[in-house]
Amino acid sequence: MPIASPEVYAEMYEKAKAGKFAYPAINITSSQTINAALKGFADAGSDGILQVSTGGAEYGSGPSIKNMVTGAVALADYAREVAKNYPINVGLHTDHCPEPKLDGYVRPLLKLSAERVAQGQDPIFNSHMWDGSALDDVEKNLQIAEELLAQTKANHQILEIEIGAVGGEEDGVVGEINDKLYTSVEDALRTAEVLGLGEKGSYLTAFTFGNVHGVYKPGNVKLRPEILKDLQAAVAKKYGTDEKPFFLVFHGGSGSTEQEISDAVDFGVVKMNVDTDTQYAFTRPVVDHMMKNYDGVLKIDGEIGNKKQYDPRAWGKSAEAGMSQRIVEACQQLRSAGTHTA
């Protein structure tokens, strides 16, 4: 079954670290974006990750419902069913969840998964993200992470954390663009001290090296992937581990250069979030369709339009194809293309 079991999901990351590649983690909000992502992974011959943010989950539940847990479970269930037809492994993940939304999102989902695991089933999601990047106090960030890590471990899940600040805006969480965008060696050492290096539970770490969510022009922010190398080396030296003790995540990857992505992967990134670029890749073909078929998609001056042109499947197929192609490109940049093995 392509939705990865806990064991397969863990193996995916071990394989990525050993092979020096990373998986694109694609934010999904609907059946269309799920289908587009699955096709993109399959076309690239890559395993991959579907992730649901708090805003995406709320949207997925329906415009008059706006229930994050309902939306997240519904999207996961849809993905679990349609993914059966694809020859790849797919992980399910919940994206950025800040402290004010923990009780309405991650914690209820952890409880639901605990109930499933107690019945001998896999958890709903393979992993969850706790986003403490908006907190000024790294100790509070790690305290919450430690609590959640115990729960994800019990559920056979992986926790994702963020140590440092990410600029830009995502789902209402706004980060300033300043020196806090670069995680310090001290914070990396403290992370290993509090959370361990696997013995307390598996986790992914998003250390920051100038990352910004959303759209930005080259030069607006200085990405410094070499920081990741320094953080890994400091922890490896103290604990006598291999040279890359952390499984790293690259946030705010849209708009990054191929060299920046390549360097980050070399330094231990095994997962990169891709959202802004895939949003545009999905929407751009729709704009093209509407402009080229203006008279058909609108009932102008009493005319009846052209049903074949305003049928949502007509422009929806183009949107999905555009997003799928962008995901193939992401797989190629992250070197995961062609790495899936049966």
**Residue in 43, 47, 77, 95 annotated catalytic:** 95
DSSP state of 271: E
- Two structure tokens written together for 110: 């952890």
Annotated binding residue 274: yes
Report whether 273 belongs to an annotated binding site: yes
DSSP letter for each residue of 161-191:
EEES--BEEETTEEE--SGGGB--HHHHHHH
55 annotated as a binding-site residue: no
Q: Is 184 labeled as ligand-binding? A: no
Please answer whether residues 116 and 123 qualify as being in contact, where contact means their C-beta atoms are separated by less than 8 angstroms: yes
340 assigned binding-site residue: no
Cα 83 → chain centroid: 17
Q: Is 341 annotated as a binding residue?
A: no
| Residue 230 is assigned to a ligand binding site | no
> How far is 89 from 49, CA to CA, in rounded Å?
9
Residue 156 backbone zone (phi > 0: left; psi -120 to 50: alpha; other: beta): left
Q: Phi and psi dihedrals of 100, rounded to 5? A: -65, -15
**Is 131 part of any known ligand binding site?**
yes
- Does 316 count as an annotated binding residue? no
Report the distance separating Cα 247 and Cα 143, nearest Å. Answer: 20
Count the neighbouring beta carbons within 10 Å of the beta carbon of residue 169: 12
Whether 95 is catalytic is: yes
**What distance in Å separates the CA atoms of residue 253 and residue 232, rounded to the nearest whole number?**
20
Closest-CA residue to 51 (of 196, 158, 211): 158
**To which H or E segment does residue 50 belong?**
strand 48-52
Place of tokens 């490109």: 329
CB 303 within 8 A of CB 312: no
Within 10 Å of residue 4's Cβ, how many Cβ atoms? 21
The response to whether 276 counts as a known ligand-binding position is yes
Cα–Cα nearest to 297, from 308, 284, 310, 312: 310
Count of CA atoms in the C-beta half-sphere (13 A) of 129: 27
Please indicate if the annotation marks 214 as binding a ligand: yes
Active site residues: 95
- Binding-site annotation, residues for Zn(2+): 96, 131, 162, 213, 251
- Binding-site annotation, residues: 96, 131, 162, 213-214, 251-254, 273-276
- Binding-site annotation, residues for dihydroxyacetone phosphate: 214, 252-254, 273-276
